Amino acid sequence: MSASIEIAGVSKIYDGGVRAVDTIEIDIRQGEFFSLLGPSGCGKTTTLRIIAGFESPSDGAIRIDGADITHVPAHKRDMGMVFQNYALFPHRTVAENVAFGLRMRGIDKQAIAAKVKAALAMVELSGLEDRRPAQLSGGQQQRVALARAIVIEPRVLLCDEPLGALDKKLRQQMQFELKQLQKTLGLTLVFVTHDQEEALAMSDRIAVMNCGRVEQIGTPVEIYDQPLTRFVADFIGDTNIFRGERVTSDAGPALAAGHGLFLALPASAAGTSLLSVALRPEKISLSSGDTETAAAASGARGTIESTNFLGGAVLYHIALDSGHRVLAQQPNAGAVFVPGRTVKLDWKAADLVVLKD
Amino acid sequence: MAVARTNGLALLLLPSALLFALFFFVPIGLMAVMSLLTGNPVVAANVAFTARHYLRIVNDPYYLEVIWTTIRIGLWTTLISLLIGYPLAHWMARIRSRAGHAALLMAVLAPMLTGVVVRTFAWMALLSDKGVINQILASLGLTTKPVQLMYNETGIVVGLVHIYVPFMVLTLTGVIGRIDERLEQAAESLGASPLRSFLEVTLPLSLPGILAGSLLVFALSISAYVTPILLGGFQIMTLPILIYQQISANFNIGFAAALGMVLLLVSLLLIVAYNRVLGLVSGQHELQ
């Protein structure tokens, strides 16, 4: 039922010469939850609209299950779409909204009624058939939009920041439900979002986009742990980025980050003389610094500037003796370092990720 | 503080309230009274109340025919303005380029900068027996006799449509512009062809604009005077022409007032009907 999508060298250049999307190559597998993630204006929504057929690409092709659909109009593509503002028909009831796609397919009335009922039950909206969209809460409208899109059993479900307008608690619930629904139905789902937590939590794979280009495609773990570029490292989660020259010391390759800070690089870190490395805050462990930990492969000393208590964890802003400012996150184990306190920071050289600029 | 400020602001309403009272309610009230009097109380000595002006309208088929002609011209003008105006308004509401929008707006508004009389004379030059259209038709050998395009209702409707179509376009553009384009896209993603999406989504949602624009054009066309008189050449009698005749030629102010009340009544009935229909189509989602 659901299909794979191939975005082959697609570009979109607007009249003014603006490259909204720049030669994008993405293969979305059948039954995959695929996210297009990036800041606003990165071209993710344009890419989705090109897949949906609302925009035609200036260059490149869109293929679905191998068949070229670049010039197939939107209404013949058999794709469900959930819009950011839901785009429910205000002059029709909930049931009529959900039935719309089925009616367009010329299905007989009894079958429509049964399918609408099943779809509304699936999104837990039974009993609200005769309401108008304006009489529903945001979360309910979101469910109607979802029911309307999946009831036609689309080959691909496209979602344009569908959860953006919901409050946090409801958003997390809907994230879970959408993911469940996608798995149960085996849907190929393309999900556009600027919320990196949402993308990490829900996706099978993510394409991180910036300025119309794809920076990296990978699983959430790959994207988080092995960011390829400085942009990806910076955009996904908190991170510490050090930039400097690659030097070779007795112990192996190291990065001279300036002001006397040397970071031991992983043995695999080859490459140019000038490079950037990323280090996730939670990969740093803090100790009081009173007892020398001899085993530490790499580390530095610093002073706590401020602490953010996150509940399950504590985020420290630390000024290193070299002047660099870093973030370090520790699980909340009871003892919290107070600002002004001198600490020792330790990390494994292998946790440093060398970035492409 | 708050009370004083409210009162101060309320004073700003005074000029418009006075204007309305003096130049709207008083004249209409006077007209209503006049339509029920036997003569003009300013010049005649003994005047009495009477219903004879209204009875005359109701009992003489000629006047009923005039009323019906007026309404018929209004309906045709409205219908044609809608058919011409809707596509234009849709285009204007959806056009992306600012320059394109400005050009369309100018094209719609430019005719309004010229007087009605001038535009009507221009139509006479086009539509008359020896006018541009008939000469072209004859020179192409399509017609042997001139086709009568004016001094009939066709000519009047052509002229009125030209004058009132901007009102239709501007009213509709506002309403269509407020319809979210994503609704049409949602319909298309669900399998509706662009035409189907228009019929199922855009058209029903623009109904308030269609009604408002139609009401405006209809009310303006049934009260038009210059265009029916010039393009109708006194061959076609409408209510405003009749009223003018009664005042200027027959000095029958009471009867003219009664005819004026009929014209007002037609418009009022229409506004009531408009509110009803609007309530029916959009009432439920006003609830919220």
Mean pLDDT by 10 residues, chain B (288 residues): 62 89 90 88 81 91 94 96 95 90 90 87 90 90 86 93 94 94 94 93 92 93 93 90 91 91 91 83 49
CA B214 to chain centre: 7
SS3 of A222-240? HHHHCCCEHHHHHHCCCCE
CA atoms of A36 and A208, how far apart (whole Å): 6
3-state secondary structure of A4: coil
Q: A236: how many CB neighbours lie within 10 A of its CB?
A: 23
- Residue A178, Cβ density class (10 Å: 0-12 exposed, 13-18 middle, ≥19 buried): buried
Nearest to B191 among A75, A85, A87 (CB): A75
Encoded tokens for A282: 């939670």
Q: B48: how many CB neighbours lie within 10 A of its CB?
A: 8
B37 DSSP β-pair partners: B49
Beta carbons of A185 and A32 less than 8 angstroms apart? no
- Give how far Cα A345 sits from Cα of A275, A292, A335, Å: 22, 11, 16
Q: Searching chain A, which residue's CA lies closest to the CA of residue B180?
A: A87
Chain B residues with CB-CB distance to A88 below 8 A: 186
Residues 6+ apart with CB under 8 A from A341: A288, A303, A304
Nearest to B73 by CA among B153, B152, B150: B153
The CA-CA-CA angle for residues B267, B273, B278, to 5°, reads: 125
Beta carbons of A173 and A138 less than 8 angstroms apart? no
- Residue A49, Cβ density class (10 Å: 0-12 exposed, 13-18 middle, ≥19 buried): buried
CA–CA min distance A153, chain B (Å): 10
Nearest to B283 by CA among A132, A99, A127: A132
Chain B residues with CB-CB distance to A80 below 8 A: 189-190
3-state secondary structure of A210: strand
CA-CA-CA-CA dihedral for A194, A196, A200, A205, to nearest 10? 50
Q: Which of B189, B193, B201 to mutate to test the interface with A (most CBs of A within 10 A)?
A: B189
CA atoms of B85 and B87, how far apart (whole Å): 6
CA atoms of A214 and A296, how far apart (whole Å): 37
3-state secondary structure of B34: helix
**pTM for the model:** 0.80
Residues A52, B197: C-beta atoms closer than 8 Å: no
Q: What is the CA radius of gyration of chain A?
A: 25
Name the average pLDDT for chain B.
88
Selected residues 226-245 of chain B with any CB under 8 Å from a CB in chain A: none
Digit-by-digit pLDDT tens for chain A (357 residues) are 688 999 999 999 988 888 899 999 999 999 999 999 999 989 999 999 999 999 999 999 999 999 999 999 999 999 999 998 899 999 999 999 999 999 999 999 999 999 999 999 988 888 999 999 999 998 899 999 999 999 999 999 999 998 887 888 888 888 888 999 999 999 999 999 999 989 999 999 999 999 999 999 999 999 999 999 999 999 998 899 998 888 887 777 888 887 778 888 877 666 667 888 999 999 998 888 665 554 445 678 899 999 998 888 999 999 998 888 999 999 988 778 889 888 988 888 888 888 876
CA atoms of B192 and B186, how far apart (whole Å): 9
CA atoms of B224 and B243, how far apart (whole Å): 12
Beta carbons of A1 and A188 less than 8 angstroms apart? no
- The DSSP secondary structure of B243-272, one letter per residue, reads HHHHHHTS--HHHHHHHHHHHHHHHHHHHH
- The DSSP secondary structure of A89-143, one letter per residue, reads -TTS-HHHHHHHHHHHTT--HHHHHHHHHHHHHHTT-TT-TT--GGGS-HHHHHH
CA atoms of A298 and A263, how far apart (whole Å): 7
**What is the 8-class DSSP label of residue A356?**
B
Chain A residues with CB-CB distance to B186 below 8 A: 81, 83, 87-89, 148
Selected residues 187-216 of chain B with any CB under 8 Å from a CB in chain A: 187-194, 196-197, 200-201, 204-205
Q: Is the CB of residue A101 less than 8 Å away from at least one CB of chain B? A: yes
Q: What is the pLDDT of residues B213-266, one digit of tens each?
A: 999 999 999 999 999 999 998 889 999 999 999 989 888 889 999 999 999 999
